[in-house]
Structure 1
């Protein structure tokens, strides 16, 4: 039976469908799958900073224990100072692991709630192999993947600027787990779709799935996820997870059709004066 985080209920957020111990394991895999440029640890509070990288996941305060609630106000102020010194806008990544006292404190300060996202997961069958549906997907080097990611247009325009691509590559180069870079190409050899997966212990994280605009609605998204799952099975992973924003109805439908379901949700909290 899942342990329900009381702060989730208090904040009007759906309680996690998995135990908090599993939430923590997935959140740890998120750290491992996308290392930040800099990190500062304060107990179970992890400050992640990557100046120049637009992704909030590597520019936010992440908390890993709902019981680590001592001196929340002072520690939050100190964390904000670290971010200001680095020139990075401050965000708190709110998950069911955030202490209730910290949630109440930012609520009282009137902090904004943005970036509603679901973390979805599904089991990986041990005999899941590359099928005809995923056989056209090639595993490539990180350098080739970054070029393909840029060519497809990426996940959003700000993710494929020269600086963003450079920062993304630097982050992925630091991944110590098994980094799986996948590309599908059109008949003329141009990149049609990309995805990155990270095999970390028994978990397979799937990130940055992007399909070129001219190739959308052709089943490539499903093909890329199937290929990720096959590589995960080969690496001994037993569960796949990914993140999908609340407004992305088409992606949620895709993942639901592939057997994923929501494990828990997160969002970001930011001060009203945040950039």
Structure 2
């Protein structure tokens, strides 16, 4: 992969990523996107703060709070890049708590060759073994997870199996293509199979799939504290495009 900069700015890339990880319920507050997905993942259960909410920021914070309280969800906002500094200050003034930074990485899509000895199966739907293999935040997935994961027009679920069923999958990952971009997420390797190149194999398979669907660029998100994943993606040629963080209402 080359080191060319993304052709999209922060706002456009975040809107694209929101389409790739779409909540079952969405609303709007001016330009802001409100998302509810039963509590599964921050991206599907937070207000994407991009653009103008169409009202003073303190009023916008109150409106976001009400929208999520009405759905029995903890109010949350996703604040990306420098353009969100004013809104971030408004949420902070209301006592909303800040999470760690998440890095959004991008690169031109240049699919690598298949990894020797690591067959990766791709499917348009996640089966029970895939859902069990994706240990979001270290725990099993809630019932709403499938609705979020499959809520895209062009999506693939990658799986690596090392042992026959009922043994768990060794690695999984998810890819989605939209408007010439491949978004990669949910790359998870079972702890018994780590340091065997399986994450690299999953990434490569999804990149080849995405290129075949017309994707020319790649994006993904990784927590700032996840040093092993950041190193993996650095070696793959991805560079930081911007950062975002969540704020969540008290209580």
Instruction: Normalising by structure 2, report the TM-score.
Output: 0.88
Considering fraction of residues, name the structure with more helix: 1
Please state if 1:57 is matched with 2:72. Answer: no
1:148 to 111, 130, 138: 130
1:157 to 138, 163, 180: 138
Change in CA separation of 1:230 and 1:115 when aligned onto 2, cut-off 3 Å? same
Instruction: Give CA-to-partner distance per residue, 1:128-183, whole Å, 9 cap, x none.
Output: 36524486111124142x42230x3523333x24xx1x31111233212x101111
1-structure distance, mates of 2:112, 2:231: 23
2-structure distance, mates of 1:81, 1:110: 15
1:168 to 130, 137, 145: 145
Instruction: Assess if the C-alpha contact under 8 Å between 2:180 and 2:214 holds in 1.
Output: yes
2-structure distance, mates of 1:143, 1:120: 25
Superposed counterparts of 1:1-275, under 5 Å: 21-51=8-38, 53-65=39-51, 67-68=52-53, 70-96=55-81, 98-125=83-110, 128=111, 130-133=113-116, 136-144=119-127, 146-150=128-132, 152=133, 154-158=135-139, 160-161=140-141, 164=142, 166-176=143-153, 178-188=154-164, 190=167, 191-271=169-249, 273-274=250-251
Structure 2 segments unaligned to the other structure (5+ residues): none
Structure 1 segments unaligned to the other structure (5+ residues): 1-16
Instruction: Give CA-to-partner distance per residue, 1:238-273, whole Å, 9 cap, x none.
Output: 1111111011100001110111111110001123x2
Instruction: Normalising by structure 1, report the TM-score.
Output: 0.81
**Structural RMSD (CA):** 2.2
Instruction: Assess if the C-alpha contact under 8 Å between 1:134 and 1:227 holds in 2.
Output: no
2-structure distance, mates of 1:64, 1:122: 22
Report deviation, 1:101: 3.3
